[in-house]
Amino acid sequence: MAGNQENKLGVLPSQALIKLIEGGAITAPPAPGAKLAAQVQPASVDLRLGPTAYRLQSSFLPQSDTVVNKMSDLVMYDLGLEKGAILERGAVYLIPLMEELSLGAAVRGKTNPKSSTGRLDVFTRVITDNCSRFEEISAGYVGKLYLEVVPRSFTIKVKTGQRLNQLRLFIDGTPEEEGHFLNRKPGLAERALFSLYQTEELLFGPDGTFITQPGARLVDDGLLMGVDLTSDNGGPIGYKAKKNSHVIDLEKVAHYCADEFWEPIYPPRNGRLILEPEEFYIFASKERIRVPMSCAAEMVEFDAGSGELRTHYAGFFDPGFGYGKQGEVKGTKAVLEVRPHDVPFIIEDGQILFKMKYERMSQKPYIWYGAEIGSNYHNQVLRLAKQFIHM
C-alpha cells in the first residue's frame, strides 16, 4: 500500500486519511485552488463529481466485469457537468468520481451519501469494477469510483467538483488480535458497547437527562432509537416533500423557501401518524445521541421485519457528533429520512425506527465533528437540507 498506514484496527481517522492521500492511495486530478486533503472529515473523505454524467436505462452491478464494459449498452446520453447540468427526478445517472483508489490488502471501504444529499431525497450509491454490492469497496481495491445518482423527490442541478457522498476506510483484524470483547470488524460487541455507553453517556432523553438504564435499547453493536412526534412550541415535527417543485441548485445555500418544496407536519392529536407509500418524509429522533472521539457511528435499519421503511439514506456519524472534543456537548438529535414502501404505515411517538451502529476508531481523529469543520448540522434539531430557508 502506498504511504504509511495505521497498525491498529478500526475506522481510519483524519490524520491516517491524509497520510493515505500523501502516499498515493487516494488520488484525484489536480483542481485549481483545491487540495484533496481539504475534503477530509474526522472519519471520512468527501468524494467529488467528475465532469460527465451518463443517463442510464437502469441501475446495475458489474459483478465480474468492469463498470465501463457493463454500462456500455445502458447509456442513453451523457451530460457535461463543468458548467452545471440538470438531473431529472426519477432518472438514473452514473457519474465517474474524481477520486481513485489504490488500497492495500488490509484496507476496505464503505460509502454513504452526505447529510444534505440524503435530506434532498437524492438516492446515491457507489459501484466499483468487479463488485456485486453497492457502497462496499473490497480490501485491496485499485481503480475508479462511480456514483449512481437518482433524484427521487426533486429535480436537481449539479456541477463538477460537488460532494454528494463520502468514503470511510477500515482496517479489519481477528478477535484474537484485539481481545474477545471485539468483533473481527470495527463494530463493537455488546459488552464493549455497554461499557462505552456507561462511561461516555451515549444516549439522552428528550428532557436532556442521561438514560442510565438503556434496557432493550442496547442490542448487538448499536443503540435503538425512536422518532419524535411531539413539539414543545407547536411547530412542525416533520416535513413531507412536495411533488413537481422547481429545480434545486445544490450550490445554493439558504436560498430556497422551504414551503415551496416541503409540507410541514404538525403533532398528531393521538400521537400516531400515517405515512403514505413512496412519499418522502423528514423527522427527528426522540433521543439525543453522542458519538465519542474513540468511535464512529452509522445509522442502519434495526430489523428488516419491523416494517417496510427506509430510514437511513445518509448514515455516517463522525466522532464528536453530539459530544464535542472533550464531551462538552450533551447529545444531539439525529435526523431521519424516511420513505415507506408498498402500503401506508403508521408510526407512533417514540416508536423505534433505526439503530445507531458504533464502530471503533483505529485512533482518535485530530479533528472532530462540529463547527470546527464547518458542519451545517452539528447543533441540529429537526432541520432540512442546507439549501433551504426554514419556515
pLDDT digits over 96-129, tens only? 999 999 999 999 999 999 999 999 999 999 999 9
* pLDDT > 90: percent of the chain: 72
Q: What SS3 state is found at 191?
A: helix
User: What are the residue ranges of CATH 2.70.40.10 in the chain?
Assistant: 10-171, 177-389
What fold is seen in the domain 177-389? Deoxyuridine 5'-Triphosphate Nucleotidohydrolase; Chain A (2.70.40)
The DSSP annotation for 76-98 comes to EEEEE-TT-EEE-TT-EEEEEEE
Which candidate, 186, 190, 166, places its Cα nearest to that of 178?
186
Segment among 26-40, 59-73, 129-143, 289-303 with least mean pLDDT:
26-40
pLDDT band at residue 381 under the 50/70/90 scheme: confident
User: Tell me: the pLDDT tens digits for 210-254?
Assistant: 999 888 889 888 999 999 999 988 899 999 999 888 999 999 999
Nearest to 202 by CA among 217, 220, 187, 183: 217
Mean pLDDT of the chain: 88
54-68, 84-98, 139-153, 294-308: segment of lowest average pLDDT: 294-308
Helical spans, DSSP H, in 50-150: 67-71, 115-119
CA–CA separation, 321 vs 334, rounded Å? Answer: 10
> DSSP character for 323?
T
Q: Long-range contact list for 55-61, CB < 8 A, 24+ apart?
A: 55/79, 55/91, 55/92, 55/93, 56/92, 56/93, 56/94, 57/92, 58/92, 59/92, 59/148, 59/150, 60/127, 61/127, 61/131, 61/132, 61/133, 61/134
Question: C-alpha cell of 285?
Answer: 429522533
CATH architecture group of domain 10-171: Distorted Sandwich (2.70)
Q: Under DSSP, is residue 367 helix (H, G, I), strand (E, B) or coil?
A: coil
Residue 258 C-alpha cell reads as: 422551504
Q: Which residues contact 109 (CB under 8 A, 6 or more apart)?
A: 101, 103, 136, 137, 141, 167, 168, 169, 170
The larger pLDDT score, comparing residue 329 to residue 5, is at 329
Q: Which three cell numbers stand for residue 290?
A: 453522542
E strands in 175-321? 203-204, 218-219, 222-226, 238-241, 248-249, 256-257, 262-265, 272-275, 281-289, 295-300, 309-310, 316-317
Q: Which residue has the cell 465533528?
A: 369
